[in-house]
């Protein structure tokens, strides 16, 4: 019985991870790729480590698996948030079907209110040093 | 101490090794041709998560539970790397 539960959890987790990789490959935009990667991969990690805890049935293994699960739940949204914010500040081209963009024209992120800057991948160059004040 | 892997477990874990390897290949394609720098960082982050999953499957197959510590450390390092990349992009590309 525990073998069956562990096998099902393992299979579901690896399917979720494969879907995350497929989303990262196929999604049209940085932000959509990011949501595919963070959410589906988090679910995959949770399922796989639950399978570990069910299979071994030891206190040490279960506590470490819970530690990994909690850690992934804490860190994946934080990393995705920081990466999405910096990608917007870089001025990447968004998918044409993007319905609303709340950070457009926000001074904090530096996303320009003009047309989304250039082709994707173009980094607005300039030294990060002190700006020349007029 | 190390329970013997039943045939069902060994079969399903082999299948999930194949699935995770396919996922690593797909992510590698995105890493190689991703048009902008954040695309590549997202792909790198997902690759580290996939490797954590591979470590979990290998722990299940081999029965040596010491590999779990490697999974914990790899998760920590990949989070720090992603945050460092995000800071770097924000410092370089922002106004």
pLDDT in tens, chain B (95 residues): 455 678 888 899 999 999 999 999 999 999 998 788 899 999 999 999 999 999 999 999 998 989 999 999 999 999 999 999 999 988 886 44
> Does B15 fall in a domain?
yes
> Does B2 fall in a domain?
no
User: Where in A74-115 does DSSP place strands (E)?
Assistant: none
- In the predicted model, what is the mean pLDDT of chain A? 80
**Chain B environment of A35 (Cβ under 8 Å):** none
A35, two tokens = 């949501």
**Chain B environment of A56 (Cβ under 8 Å):** 3, 65
Q: Is the pLDDT of residue A118 over 50?
A: no
> Does A24 fall in a domain?
yes
Domain that holds residue B23: 7-93
Q: In the prediction, which pLDDT does B2 show?
A: 53
Q: What is d(CA A38, CA B79) in angstroms, rounded to the nearest whole number?
A: 12
> Does A110 fall in a domain?
no
Q: In the prediction, which pLDDT does B3 show?
A: 55
Chain-chain contact of B3 with A30 (C-beta, under 8 angstroms)? no
pTM of the model: 0.81
Domain that holds residue A39: 2-90
> Chain A: nearest CA to B77, how far in angstroms?
11
> Does A123 fall in a domain?
no
> Does A43 fall in a domain?
yes
> Chain A: nearest CA to B23, how far in angstroms?
5
Please give the DSSP secondary-structure letter assigned to residue B3: P
A77, two tokens = 């949204």
Asked if the C-beta of B61 comes within 8 angstroms of chain A's C-beta atoms, the answer is no
> Does A117 fall in a domain?
no
Q: In the prediction, which pLDDT does A96 show?
A: 79
Chain-chain contact of A86 with B49 (C-beta, under 8 angstroms)? no
Number of domains in chain B: 1
Asked if the C-beta of B69 comes within 8 angstroms of chain A's C-beta atoms, the answer is yes
Category of A121 on φ-ψ map: left (φ > 0), alpha (ψ -120 to 50) or beta:
left
Measured CA to CA in angstroms, residue A21 lies from A17, A56, B31 at distances of 6, 28, 11
Q: In the prediction, which pLDDT does A120 show?
A: 43
Q: Averaged over A87-100, what is the pLDDT?
A: 80
> Does A83 fall in a domain?
yes
Q: In the prediction, which pLDDT does B69 show?
A: 92
């Amino acid at each position: 019985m525990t073998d069956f539960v562990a096998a099902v959890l393992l299979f579901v987790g690896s399917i979720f991870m494969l879907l995350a990789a497929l989303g990262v490959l196929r999604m049209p935009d940085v932000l959509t790729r990011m949501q595919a990667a963070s959410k589906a991969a988090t679910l995959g990690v949770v399922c796989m480590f639950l399978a570990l805890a069910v299979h071994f049935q030891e206190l040490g293994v279960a506590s470490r698996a819970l530690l990994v699960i909690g850690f992934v739940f804490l860190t994946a949204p934080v990393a995705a948030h920081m990466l999405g914010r910096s990608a917007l500040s870089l001025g990447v081209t968004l998918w044409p079907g993007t319905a609303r963009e709340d950070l457009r024209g926000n001074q904090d992120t530096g996303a320009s209110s003009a047309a989304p800057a250039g082709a994707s991948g173009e980094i607005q160059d300039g030294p990060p040093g002190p700006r020349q004040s007029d | 101490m190390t329970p013997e892997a039943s045939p069902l477990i060994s079969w399903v874990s082999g299948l999930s090794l194949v699935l995770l390897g396919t996922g690593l290949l797909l992510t590698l394609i995105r890493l190689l041709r991703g048009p902008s720098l954040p695309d590549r960082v997202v792909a790198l982050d997902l690759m580290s998560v996939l490797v954590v999953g591979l470590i979990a499957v290998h722990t299940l197959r081999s029965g040596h539970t010491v590999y779990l510590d490697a999974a914990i450390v790899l998760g920590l390092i990949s989070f720090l790397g992603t945050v460092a990349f995000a800071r770097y992009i924000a410092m370089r590309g922002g106004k």
